[in-house]
Every structure is written in C-alpha cells, then in structure tokens.
Amino acid sequence: MSLSMQKLLVAVLSLALFAALIAAGGVDARRQAEARKQAVAALDAAANPQLARGRAVFAKYSCNACHGPGGTGGIMNLNAETGGQVNSLLRVSETYTSAELMEKIRTGVPEVEKGDPTGPSPPLRMPAYRDLVAGTEMTDLVAYLLSLRPPPGTAKSTAW
Amino acid sequence: MKGRLTRWLAERVPISMEELRRPLREELPVHLRTWLAWLGGTPLMLFGIQAATGILLTFYYSPTPHLAYESVRRISTTLRYGWLIRSLHQTAGQLMIVAVILHIIRVFVTRAYRAPRELTWVFGVALFLLTLGFGFTGYSLVYDSLSYWATTVGTNLVAHVPFVGPHVLWVLRGGADVNPNTLARFYNFHIGVLPTLMVLAVGAHLVFVRLHGVARLEGDARRETYDFFPDHVLREAAVALVVLLALVVHAMRSPPGLGEPADPNVTPSHIRPEWYFFPSYRWLKMVPMQVGIWTTTAFVLGMLFWPWLDAGLERLAPGRRLGTWLGSAAFLFTLVLLVWEAVT
C-alpha cells in the first residue's frame, strides 16, 4: 500500500472514530435519562406509605431472617438449586403477579429443588403463612415486594 | 518572533532537532512491512488507553470495602460517559493480554529472541506477567461477589508457593485473610506498583529493541529496508484507530455489567477466574496442589529464560529445532487447558 493510501486510510479511520464517539454521546444521553428515571422511582417508593408499611410487615414476620435485609440476598441453604442459598427477592416483580405472590406467601414452598439431585435435601424451605399474613398486611407486603429492584447497573450476568 | 523563540528554547534545551529526529529515521527490515507487524505496537497503544482511562476512573473509584462496589456502580450508571470509560478500560485490558500473547507467539515462531536479543525477550515476558498482574488486581477492585471470591481463591493459591508463599500472601492481603487492607493493597498495586514496573519494563524492552534493531527473518535474504517514519508509524496508527473504533462500538453494544455486591459470608456456587487464568486453574484442578504449583512455576521460569533453554537444546541436537517443538507443544497444551476450562 502506497504512503498516500496509508494517509487516506488513517484519515478515514479518524473520521469513523469521531462519528463513533458522537454516537456514544447519544447512548450516554439515553443512559442518563434511564438513570434519572430510576432515581425518581426510588424516591417515590421511599415516600410511599404503603411501601413503608410493607417493609414493616416484612420485618415483623422475619422474612429478612432468610431473604436478607430488604430481600437483597438469602442465607446459605446447602444444595438448593438457587445457588446454595435462599432466593433474593429483588427480581420477584419480573416473575410474579400480585395474586401469584400472595398465593406463594400463603402456601410457602413445601420442597426446595436440589442443586445436585444425588445430594441431600436443602435444610431450609419456605413455611406456609396461610392466614397469618392477611388483609392490608398482605397487600402492603406484596406491594413492597413488587417494588424491590436490583440496584441500577446490576446485571444478571457476572461479567466484570 | 519565531526565530527568537527557537533561540530561547535552544539555549535552555541544548539538544539539536537533528538528534531528536534520529530515532524516527530508523530503517526497518522489509519483512515487517506487513499488517502482522502491528503485534508489537498494539500492546503499547492499549497500555496507553489503560493509563488514560485508569486515571479517569481513579477520580471516582473508592478503594474501601464499603464504597468500592457502589462507586463502580455509580461510574457505570450515573456518571457521564462512565460506562464508556469503564468499558474501554476493561476491554482494552483483556485485548492487551491477547495482543501480548500474539506478539510473544510471533517472536517465538520467528526465533527473534536468540542472541544477542535475549534481554529483549526477558523484558517482553516480564511485560506479559505484569499484564496478568494488572488483570488480577483490576478484577478484584470491582468488588462484586465473583471478583471478591476470585481474589480470595487466587490469593489462597499463593500460600502454596514453596518457601515464600505464606509471606507473599501476607504482603498481598495485609493479613491472614482477605480483609479491608487487601482491597487497599490491590488498589495500590494496580495504580502504583504495577504501572511503575510496567513503564520501566516497557522502557527497557524498547531500548533493547532500538539497540539491537529489529531481528531479520531466518532465511530471508532480502536486504531492503523501509522507514520507521512515516511508513511504519502510519500503519501502527491505522491499526490503533481500528482497535479504538472496535472498543467504542463494543462499549455501546455491550456496556460493562456488574454482579451482586460482594458478601464475605455468601460463597457463589461457581467461582472462576478470568479467562487468562483458565489454563493454570484447570491444571491445578487436575493435579495435586504441590505438583501444580511447581509445574506452573517451572513453566513461567522456562518462558522467562527461553532463549538460553532453546540455545541449550540447539547445542544438544543441532538443526533439530527441539526448542520449537517443545515450545509449540507447551503452547498447544496451554491452549487445550484454556478451551477445556472454558467449555466446562
């Protein structure tokens, strides 16, 4: 490749890099808007009296003893299929409706699936709360659980 | 005015422009005039990206166990262009390891490490080891669950190194277990100790490359040369721009993620190091710990002193290229271990 062609190539690539950085500016603006939206939602949630009551119900029935404070992470539950620990509750809104969650609290989890089918059964399982949690306590608790979210930027993937 | 300024500068910096231009006029052997020749300059360019983005990250990163994860999350989500800077830093680091490995392979295949260029090779391997050190310490700084436990397991291995293991472990961790000192020390290694050693090793490597000139290919009778500047520099610039472009596009398509926060009381079910440690990780799982540690140490030392090892093998069986066969077998074995660990 001649010298002038090399110069041309470097010039074209410089322009392409400049264009990519401008496009990155657009991506950044979108991410900023999303972060702001999440921050506002978090503030709203903190100010919502129903969620505050739900948080109190969560503590009253010692849900945090197994699911961790704020449902952020469970304690060890050896050979549970959920990575050897009790489930975190930060993503229940992605998989449960309000009615399904109420049913889950009433009936509990009679048997936790094993991580290793040939291994021992996990020692912990979720008890059935039946009518112990009912009425506004139940609706407040479910509203609180459905409001939980992983911190922004937390990916399911474990990539660096 | 310009004349006065030039005269003023020449009095205070008494080096002639001719002297400064001399390194640019080096003539390179014509076999380097291929696109494959980028393998030497690219790691240096990637190190430049690492240094620039790393400095920016230090403005916002907090190296304490309580704040580290949150500061990384803030960089990735809240700060303007934080995701881009972090992605460039992370991906350029991974790519730098690939580029250094490819460069080592090229030098190995062309046997450019032979006398009198042994020290150029030694400093090249030292650069490779330092690059791995950057990867290990940098990974631990994220302080999410996987990085925390990878640090714990990785430093545990150090304890098994014969004679010095427990002492090195103490220096790395700042205590018997992973504790708040460990993160501070890893941060210090990552932004202070390793960069200093890296700059010194890069300097020594480049000085030796300049002193000896670029090795000619074995059996290549061509005597023609071409100019380092602007010919070679333009090619390096083109490759650098392509790599930068790829890094920016990658960052936009796949911004860096973050796992769950580290919890010393909860061990994730699958702890695994970064891909560049897969071969030794797989090897250590296959053989007894002491065997694994000794053989890994022997592998690194063999790599470091390869020019003399190869020369010894050449004296043992002249013309049989035993060194090339042995080195190729070792490389292929390492590759098999890497792929094996990756797919299991």
Give whole-number Cα distances, A79 to A110, A112, B148, B153, B269, in Å: 16, 9, 22, 21, 10
Same domain, yes or no: B40 and B97: yes
User: Which domain covers residue A19, as residue numbers?
Assistant: 7-47
Separation in Å, CA of B151 to nearest CA in chain A: 13
Residues 159 through 218 of chain B touching chain A, CB cutoff 8 Å: none
Instruction: Name the residue with higher pLDDT: B40 or B54.
Output: B54
Same domain for B55 and B91: yes
Q: Are residues B256 and B317 located together in one domain of the fold?
A: no
* Closest CA–CA distance from residue B313 to any residue of chain A (Å): 41
Partner B contacted by A127 (CB < 8 A): no
The verdict on B83 touching A (C-beta cutoff 8 Å) is yes
Of the CA atoms within 13 Å of residue A154, those in its CB half-sphere come to 18
Is there a domain that residue B158 lies in?
yes
A-chain CB neighbours of B252 within 8 Å are: 20, 23-24, 27
Provide the pLDDT confidence category of residue B53 given band limits of 50, 70 and 90.
Answer: very high
In a domain, A159, yes or no: no
3-state helix, strand, coil in chain A (%, to 5): 60, 0, 40
The token duo for B162 is 């014969």
Residue of A nearest to B72 (CA): A153
Residues of B whose CB is below 8 A from A32: 80
Q: How many CB atoms lie within 10 A of CB B225?
A: 15
Mutation test of the interface with chain A: which of B85, B241, B244, B265, choosing the one with the most A Cβ atoms within 10 A?
Answer: B241
Q: Looking at residue B36, what is its pLDDT?
A: 67
B203 torsion bin: left (phi>0), alpha (psi -120 to 50), beta (else):
alpha
Q: Could you tell me the residue range of the domain that residue B142 belongs to?
A: 31-216+227-271
Mean pLDDT for the stretch of residues B274-294: 92
Judge if A33 and A107 occupy the same domain: no
Instruction: Kindly state whether residues A18 and A64 are assigned to the same domain.
Output: no
DSSP state letters, B111-180:
TTTSTT-HHHHHHHHHHHHHHHHHHHHHHHHT-BHHHHHHHHHHHHHHTTSTTTHHHHHHHHHTSSS--H
Q: Whole-prediction pTM value?
A: 0.78
CA of A150: which chain B residue's CA is closest?
B260
Are B253 and B212 members of one domain? yes
Question: CB of A52 within 8 Å of any CB in chain B?
Answer: no
For the segment A85-135, what is each residue's pLDDT rounded down to a tens digit?
888 888 888 888 999 999 999 999 888 888 888 888 888 888 899 889 889
CA B267 to chain centre: 29
Compute the nearest-CA separation of B262 from chain A (Å): 11
Residues A57 and A21 in one domain: no
pLDDT of residue A65: 86
Mutation pick from B81, B88, B228 vs chain A, by most beta carbons of A within 10 Å, is B81
- A20 shares its domain with A76: no
Confidence band of B21 (pLDDT split at 50, 70, 90): confident
Tell me, yes or no, whether B188 and B332 share the same domain. Answer: no
Question: Considering CB atoms only, which of A73, A155, A159 is closest to B266?
Answer: A73
Domain for residue B42, yes or no? yes
CB-nearest to B260 from A10, A73, A159 is: A73
For B190-208, write each residue's pLDDT tens digit. 999 999 999 999 999 999 9
pLDDT of amino acid B14: 87
pLDDT tens digits, residue range A59-97? 899 888 888 888 887 678 888 887 788 888 888 888 889
**B319 Rama sector, left if φ>0, alpha if ψ -120 to 50, beta otherwise:** left
Cβ of B242 within 8 Å of Cβ of A151? The answer is no
Q: Are residues A61 and A105 in the same domain?
A: yes
- Higher pLDDT, residue A72 or B250: B250
Instruction: Look at residue B297 and tell me whether its pLDDT is greater than 60.
Output: yes
Tell me whether B330 touches chain A (CB under 8 Å): no
Provide the domain count of chain A: 2
* Radius of gyration (C-alpha) of chain A in whole angstroms: 24
Question: What CATH number has the domain bearing residue A113?
Answer: 1.10.760.10
Say if B12 falls within a structural domain.
no
Shared-domain flag, residues B83 and B192: yes
Q: Which amino acid is at B344?
A: T
Q: In this complex, which of A20, A115, A150 lies closest to B245 when CB atoms are compared?
A: A20
Question: Does the CB of A4 have a partner CB in chain B at under 8 Å?
Answer: no
Do residues B203 and B101 both lie within one domain?
A: yes
From the list A24, A83, A150, which residue is nearest B252 (CB)? A24
DSSP string over B184-237:
HHHHHIIIIIHHHHHHHHHHHHHHHHHHH-PPPPTT-----EEEIIIIIHHHHH
The predicted structure's pLDDT at residue A154: 60
pLDDT reported for residue A153: 58
CATH number of the domain at B81, please: 1.20.810.10
Residues B112 and B57 in one domain: yes
- Cβ <8 Å between B241 and A16: yes
Q: Based on the domain organization, do B236 and B329 belong to the same domain?
A: no
Question: How open is the CA angle B263-B50-B181, to the nearest 5 degrees?
Answer: 35
Do residue B179 and residue B232 come from a single domain?
A: yes
**Are B80 and A32 inside 8 Å of each other by CB?**
yes
Q: Are the beta carbons of B241 and A17 separated by less than 8 Å?
A: yes
- Which among B235, B245, B258 is the nearest to A16, CB-wise? B245
Q: Does A22 touch chain B (CB under 8 A)?
A: no
At residue B258, the pLDDT reads: 87
Q: Are A115 and A127 within one domain?
A: yes
Q: Enumerate the residues of chain B whose CB falls inside 8 A of the CB of residue A28.
A: 80-81, 83-84
Out of B146, B248, B266, whose CB is closest to A21? B248
B176-189 residue pLDDT tens? 888 888 999 999 99
Residue A156 lies in a domain: no
Within a domain: residue A1?
no
pLDDT at A158 over 50: no
